[in-house]
Copies of this chain bind each other. A is one copy, B any other.
Amino acid sequence: MARRTKQEADETREALLDAAEQVFLERGVARASLDEVARVAGCTRGAVHWHFRDKLGLFLALDERLLLLQDELKRRLLCNGTTNSPLRHMADAITGAMVDLEENPRRRRLLTIMLQRCEYVAEMAPALQRRREADQQVRAKLREQFQRAAEMGEMSEAWSPERAALFLHALIGGFLYEWLRGEAEFTLSGEVNNAVRGFLSCAVAKPGAATFY
A binding-site residues for B, Cβ under 8 Å: 26-31, 87-88, 91, 116-122, 132, 158-159, 163, 166-167, 169-175, 177-178, 181-182, 186, 191, 194-195, 197-204, 206-213
Establish whether residues A28 and B121, one from each chain, have CB atoms under 8 Å apart when the complex forms: yes
Establish whether residues B177 and A173, one from each chain, have CB atoms under 8 Å apart when the complex forms: yes
Question: How often does this chain occur in the complex, in copies?
Answer: 2
Q: What's the minimum C-beta distance from A132 to chain B, rounded to whole angstroms?
A: 7
Q: How far is the CA of A181 from the CA of B132 in the complex (A)?
A: 8
Q: What's the minimum C-beta distance from A208 to chain B, rounded to whole angstroms?
A: 4
Pick the residue among B29, B174, B186, B210 that contacts A174 (CB under 8 A).
Answer: B174
Q: What's the minimum C-beta distance from A70 to chain B, rounded to whole angstroms?
A: 15
- Of A29, A175, A204, most buried by chain B (CB within 10 Å of CB) is A175
Q: Which residue of B has the minimal Cβ distance to A204? A: B212
List of B residues within 8 angstroms of A166 by Cβ: 178, 186, 191, 195
Establish whether residues A174 and B169, one from each chain, have CB atoms under 8 Å apart when the complex forms: yes
Q: Which residue of B has the minimal Cβ distance to A182? A: B132
List the 8 closest pairs (A to B, CB-CB), nearest first.
A201-B212, A174-B174, A28-B119, A202-B202, A170-B174, A30-B30, A173-B174, A208-B208
List of B residues within 8 angstroms of A186 by Cβ: 166
Q: What's the minimum C-beta distance from A145 to chain B, rounded to whole angstroms?
A: 15
What are 27 contact pairs spanning A and B, CB under 8 A?
A27-B121, A30-B30, A30-B31, A87-B212, A88-B213, A116-B119, A158-B198, A163-B191, A166-B178, A167-B195, A169-B178, A170-B171, A170-B175, A170-B195, A172-B174, A173-B178, A174-B174, A174-B177, A197-B213, A198-B202, A198-B212, A200-B212, A201-B202, A201-B210, A201-B211, A201-B212, A202-B202
